[in-house]
Amino acid sequence: PSDINPNVVLTEESNRLYGLHNYVSRLPKIQQDIIAKETTEERDVREERRESIKQSFLYGWNGYKTYALGADELKPLSNKSNNPFGGLGATLVDSIGTMLIMELDIDELLPLIQKIKVKPDEQMSVFETIIRYLGGLLSAFELSDHPRKHILLDKAEEIGLALLPAFETAFGLPYYHFNPLTKVSKTNTTYLADAATIQLEFITLSYHTGNPIFAEKAQVIMDFIDSADYSQGVTVPGLYPSDINIADGYFKNSVISFGAMGDSAYEYFLKQYLLVDGTVPQFGRMYEQSIDSMKSHMLVQLPGAKFLYLTPYDADRKLKTNAMDHLTCFVPGMLAIGSKIFNRPDDMKVAKGLLETCVHMYRSSNTHLSPEIWSVGKDSVPYNAMTYGKSEEELVNARSWKNWRNRHVATPPSPPPKKQEPIQKFSRVLEDVPETPDGSVIYDTRYLLRPETIESLFVMYRMTGDPVYQEYGWLIYQGIETYCKTKSAYASVKNVRLSKMDTTSNQIDSMETFLFAETFKYLYLLFSPPDLISLDKFVFNTEAHPLLRRPMDFSK
């Protein structure tokens, strides 16, 4: 690495929830000044909603604390514990950053963190361990001013060191599952998202510990992906099939996804660039190449509609699948940020179109909760920036005008003088729910407490100031309160179309840790002042753990 510590001295003496005291990014500003436009009445409503979300977090947290503290998850119907992530206390670690942002006391949690045994004798997901445990601990360390916060960094380093043997493979790609005690894995297959979603955490861990090994491991993976070509199964530049054989470095199938198994890899191309303040151009180049190829090969539109769809793509057969999953709904927020950072205005248009689709899946369901997977409407066509959103009549008229002009106008007329753009006025009043496009059906009716749409709403609100995004978020929150709440916490829902049946019988005995790490956090921040965890000061890992942005370069 060329820099263990940044060349610029950044003081960290101010309230940590507002970022490094004298850090000003050299990259374009992401957020708008929203609060300056807020009325007293709007502020009171916003604060009331924010407090409601905080109380919901505490309701779920107290259920976990009562029945499953120290376990990975609470099963919210049976009130039993569940340990899908090694039994290290995933909900505990995933919640600490949210508690700090909500200004809740974490004093009693630090001894529990200190007691975590990081080498259980079982196969653990390297990816999940890094994004939940490592990301959660590092974020809490950066956000906290607790005198014993070193416990958080010490445990993060212990976990990082325990996972290092998982990266001792032919190409430096980590095993998908790995036993940190026996140092054994049972598979040579991993997934793109699992390999390419450890970089923010490992770079940050190297920064705080002064040990470059973690950032070096992360960079090896980036260089591998960056150099992958046709001989390794990559046939479209910037788009990478989901399955990778870590023994021979070959991308085993040709299906590319911005949803399950691929999603966060593309997210981290952009977020690494933000984390290091643009000091590594490679990250930005990889992101832009991926987005260009995604728009050319994967994005589809419906004639005359605002809806856009992003579905998996089989590069060998050159075919798009007909399904979009909720995990893909993080993409609008990613594209919106990228549009500012790299001056790509069309990406903002695409972000809004995809978010229209994601929000519609909530608004059009009887519970105001989104299904897990849905199909694309019929008559879909590849995305075209010139025709997107235009009706057939508008397109016919445009073509007719162009044809007439080509026949009758010898020289083009002078362009009209530019008019000053009117000041954009926003409204909180939601428009009527548009009709669901013909042919769009629900494939998987479950709502799993997922955060991705709320994440994009949060980003879009911070970037535009449009309060409609807050109203959409509040609608989703009310759906969660009405249909997910149990006697002890919150549960996933079996069928989002069923609103009249008994609530309990439509619930699943499962409460994922990301409810605390992501869903409630993004909702809370959606109604918080914009300088709290500003996007110009922080970057969120894929589990919504905010990490401080600062110039640093471990790529060399």
Distances (CA, A) of 120 to 88, 89, 125, 181, 183: 8, 12, 12, 6, 11
What's the 3-state SS for 250-271?
A: EECCCEECCCCCCHHHHHHHHH
Whether the CB-CB separation of 97 and 545 falls below 8 Å is answered with: yes
Structure tokens at 220: 């090896």
To the query of whether residue 216 is one of the catalytic residues in this protein, the response is no
372 annotated active-site:
yes
- Exactly one of 94, 128, 455, 512 is catalytic; name it: 128
Rounded CA gap, 543 and 342, in Å? 24
Residue numbering of the annotated binding site for Ca(2+) = 542
> Can you tell me which residue has the tokens 């991926």?
290
Alpha-helical regions (H) of 298-344: 331-341
Q: In this structure, what token pair is assigned to residue 226?
A: 């960056």
Where b means 16+ CB within 10 Å and e means fewer, 426-444 reads: eeeeeeeeeebbeebebee
Distance CA 53, CA 94 (A): 17
- Is residue 263 part of the annotated active site? The answer reads yes
Q: Shortest CA distance to 161 belongs to which of 127, 223, 211, 92?
A: 211
Catalytic residue, chosen from 73, 142, 157, 263, is 263
Name the catalytic one among 157, 452, 512, 518: 452
- Report the distance separating Cα 395 and Cα 403, nearest Å: 12
Answer yes or no: 168 catalytic: no
Residues 322 and 373: their CA atoms lie apart, in Å, by: 10
Q: Do 434 and 377 form a contact (C-beta atoms < 8 A)? A: no
Catalytic annotation, pick one of 194, 243, 288, 372: 372
Side-chain-facing half-sphere of 8: CA atoms under 13 Å: 18
* DSSP code per residue over 206-224: HHHH--THHHHHHHHHHHH
Which residues are part of the catalytic machinery? 128, 263, 372, 452
